[in-house]
Amino acid sequence: MDRGSKLSPDGGNGTGAPRRYDTPMDKPTPSLDSDELDRLDSLLVAINPDESMALEELDGFFAALACCPDPVPADEYLPLVLGSPAEAALARLSKADAETLTRLISKHWKSVASQLYDGEGYAPVLSVDEQGHSSGNVWAIGFVRGMAMRPDAWEALDEDQEYGDALDPLMRLVDEVEPGEDEPAEEIPDEERAQLLDDMFVGVMDVYRFFQPQRERNLAPSAPIRRAATKVGRNDPCSCGSGRKYKNCCGRAANDQ
């Protein structure tokens, strides 16, 4: 991934004002500030410059995990983020830097998930060129990598008549740089890209809402297991119908065993 572009948490419009998308909810987890974003990006480069995720890719990746109805634990996604098994990757850094990296990754994951849940101030992290323009391709690729963590969970979206095309703008950005076999890359005109980016993030919010009922069911705690019947007291009549007390009947047999 190209790591030379400036990172921007404002949706790539160069103005510093986040794009906003609608959904209900409560206070979001604080986002990483610009210094923390730069630090996270530099540590990802330091740990594995060729295989670790670029920050923009990580942002799209976490957005997909937040949308997905099936949870993906950190021990499963961290090797992809770091570009190699987590323990070996983190061993390349000092203890302090490794702790900082894991803390920032965790904080960014929570921020992305919270912003999508909140829906009032979602600000994707996009890289921008010297003119302040974003291509969005790397973010879209990160999202697709996130989908690949639980491919079966996304099948319901493809089959839905209302939301089935929600990710079409995102897939167009992926196809621009990673076309299918025997398919030429179709360049997106500059005058269309800004609208396509807006459409992509609106589509992601639609996907988040689409999976919300199933996601909440899957994340709900399991009901506690309760006894089907009350415990028989030692002086209660035995349930076998003998007329004797439990302790002198079936209870005695249970104690002998």
What pLDDT score does 167 carry? Answer: 95
Residue indicated by tokens 């920032």 = 104
Helix (H) or strand (E) holding 46: helix 34-47
User: What's residue 28's pLDDT?
Assistant: 47
136: left (phi over 0), alpha (psi -120 to 50) or beta: left
User: What is the pTM (predicted TM-score) of this model?
Assistant: 0.76
In this prediction, the residues of the chain whose per-residue pLDDT falls under 70 are 1-30, 120-121, 221-257
Element (DSSP H or E) covering residue 26: none
Tokens of 33: 């500030």
pLDDT, residue 56, reads: 96
Residue type, 234: R
Q: Distance between CA 249 and CA 256 in Å, rounded? A: 11
If you compute the radius of gyration of the chain from its CA atoms, what whole number of angstroms results? 26
Q: Which residues contact 144 (CB under 8 A, 6 or more apart)?
A: 60, 64, 170, 171, 174
State in Å, rounded, how far the first CA of the chain is from the last one: 68
Three-state secondary structure call for residue 101: helix
List 126's β-bridge partners, or say none: 8
Cα gap 87→145, rounded to integer Å: 21
Q: What's residue 222's pLDDT?
A: 55
